[in-house]
Structures are given as C-alpha cells and as structure tokens.
Amino acid sequence: MTFQERPSRPRGIIEDYRLLELHLYPGNQCNRECDFCTVFGAPKGWYTEYTPVHLDAALNSVMQHDQGTVKFYGGEPTLNHGNVIWAIAYLRDHGFQGAVVVYSNGIQADHLIEILESDPLGKTTASLNYSIATGDGAPQMPLSSLRKLEIYEAEHVGVITIGHADIVDSGRGIDPFIGEDTRSQSAHRCPHCYPVLKTDGRFHACPFAVENADPHFQLGTVKDVPATITQNFQTFLGWLDSVHEPYAVEHDLPACTVCWKHLQDLPVPQFRETPTALTKAEGKS
C-alpha cells in the first residue's frame, strides 16, 4: 500500500486555553454504512453546514500557530466538499496557520483532491479509512478511486495517509466487525482523543462517541468562553484516569465499551456550569 500511517501526536496538550487539536463534525451523512462505524454513518444521516459561528468558536479554542491542527470528519466530508473548502478558506482568512486533516473514505477521490488542493498554505492532508482502503472489514473503495489517490500520493508524498487499523466498541461497534481478528479491539485505556465541535453548536469530549448525548461528554457550547471548554476537557481527562479506567480494569471491559454501555454506573465529571440553550443562528438544528 502506497499510504503511510499518520504518526500519533501528544495527547491532552492545552496552552493558554487552546487545544493542540480540535475535531469538527457536521453530522453522520455518508455514502457508506460500515457495520462497525462509531458515528452510525449512513446516506440518511444528518448534515448541518459549517458557518462562521462554528468556525469562530473553533478559531478561539484551537492553537492558531503551526502546531495547531483542525480535523474535519463526519460522516463523509467529500459529500459536501464545497462547504469544507469554504470552511478551510475561512480558517485561513482568519489567521489559522496550523495543519488541517480531512478524514475520508476516499470513494469520491476527485472531491478529496479538490479539498487538498484548495488550501492556500498547502497544509491540508487526508487520512483514509483503513478498512475501505484495504478491503479488510468493509468493501474496498472502487479501484479507480484508489488509483487516483495512489497517484496523487506518489506525486505529493505524505499528503494522503491511512488511518489506524484498531476497531473500538463505539456506535455500531465491534460486534458486527468482520475484519482480521488481529486488529486490536480491547484496550482498557481510553486513547484520550481531542474533543469535537459539532455543527449543532456543542463541544463533545470524544470523536468516537460523538453521537452519544450522555452528559459525561458535554463540554459546553459555542456560547461558552474557551477557558470553560478547555477546563471542562481537562476535567474529562482527569475523570477518564480516575473513574473510567479503574472501572474498565475492575470489570475487564474495553475502554469504549464502558462509555457505550456502562456510563450510567459512573458519575458525571464535575464540569463548570455552561449555558445550554442555543439559538438557531448559533448552530442548533
């Protein structure tokens, strides 16, 4: 396979109330319906466009310098590539110097390449779905798309990478997964991902559990100041280490299974109070 795996970056890094990385999530609309999908991706899924309100909140909560990273996922970003291209341009016009990563199944290869090419700083890269790129655990993407992406990567080395093979028990989860059983499914320890800003205006603590509305994940909204969001995220990370992981070890459960099926047994992290009501203009769908 032409594509390299993307190296992991340090977790939990916050400077001046800004996160090293932030995920952006506009809904789970997708041109696939993978049987393991964490977000219940499907053609009938929801999609709410990025707007200046969301992107201003993103710009205020992620590091603006070249170490900062904004990650677009979904759902499938290439289905609404015009809105993604507009969003990247908005971030650049408002001073964001960092990296942009687009998670994609690659099926609409031309749209993905258009997104990559649109960044005036040339710092947008893609991460392909491991199962759909390789055909292990999902039908492989059309070979015509794969060839286009391989040629693009050969000409722009390091721009198109491949995601991790691990499958976690979130969303549709591990039970329906039919790929290689060597692909890890069981760590007790949460990977401590960076949080998500959804286009419904809410900050959610976990990109894998983003369709889970439990209060344990609710960090605040676009109405909150960045200090509230980042402090609540730190509270969430502390809760993972002091409450969530001991429970996973004690009950011998994979970390994500605890979030998906056992949260009612765990206290909600002690978040700072946040405004909860959002108007339509602020992103409530």
Ligand X SMILES: C[S@@+](CC[C@H](N)C(=O)[O-])C[C@H]1O[C@@H](n2cnc3c(N)ncnc32)[C@H](O)[C@@H]1O
Q: Which residues bind ligand X (CB under 6 A)?
A: 30, 36-39, 41, 73-74, 76, 103-105, 129-131, 163, 166-168, 170, 173
Q: C-alpha angle with apex 170: 142 to 250, nearest 5 degrees?
A: 145
Segment interacting with ligand SF4 (CB under 6 A) among 78-86, 87-95, 204-212, 218-226 = 204-212
User: What is the rounded CA–CA span in Å between residue 275 and residue 283?
Assistant: 14
Q: Is residue 134 involved in binding ligand SF4 (CB under 6 A)?
A: no
From 25, 126, 16, select the one nearest 65 (Cα to Cα): 16
Sign of CA dihedral 178, 183, 185, 190: negative
CB of 193 to ligand SF4, least distance (A): 6
CB proximity list for 212: less than 8 A, separation 6 or greater: 170, 206, 259, 260, 263
d(CA 156, CA 54): 31
Beta carbons of 223 and 207 less than 8 angstroms apart: no
Site map 207..246 versus ligand SF4, x via CB under 6 A: -xx-------------------------------------
Helix, strand, or coil (residue 79): helix
Residues 42-71 close enough to bind ligand SF4 by CB under 6 A: none
Q: Is 269 in the site for ligand SF4 (CB under 6 A)?
A: no
Neighbours of 169 (CB within 10 A): 23
Q: Binding ligand SF4 by CB under 6 A: which of 20, 34, 62, 109?
A: 34
Compare residues 14 and 37 and give the one whose CB is closer to ligand X. Answer: 37
Q: Which does 90 bind (CB under 5 to 8 A by kind): ligand SF4, ligand X, none?
A: none
Query: By CB under 6 A, is residue 41 in contact with ligand SF4?
Result: yes
Q: Give CA torsion, residues 74, 76, 78, 84, to 10 deg.
A: -10
Q: Name the minimum Å distance from CB 66 to ligand SF4.
A: 27
Residue 59: CA atoms inside 13 Å, Cβ hemisphere, count?
Answer: 18
- Asked if 191 touches ligand SF4 (CB under 6 A), the answer is yes
Pick 93 or 241: Cβ nearer ligand SF4:
241
Alpha-carbon gap, residue 179 to 129, rounded angstroms: 13
Q: Does 30 bind ligand SF4 (CB under 6 A)?
A: yes
- Which of 53, 165, 174, 193 binds ligand SF4 (CB under 6 A)? It is 193
Which residue in the set 20, 55, 146, 190 belongs to the binding site for ligand SF4 (CB under 6 A)? 190
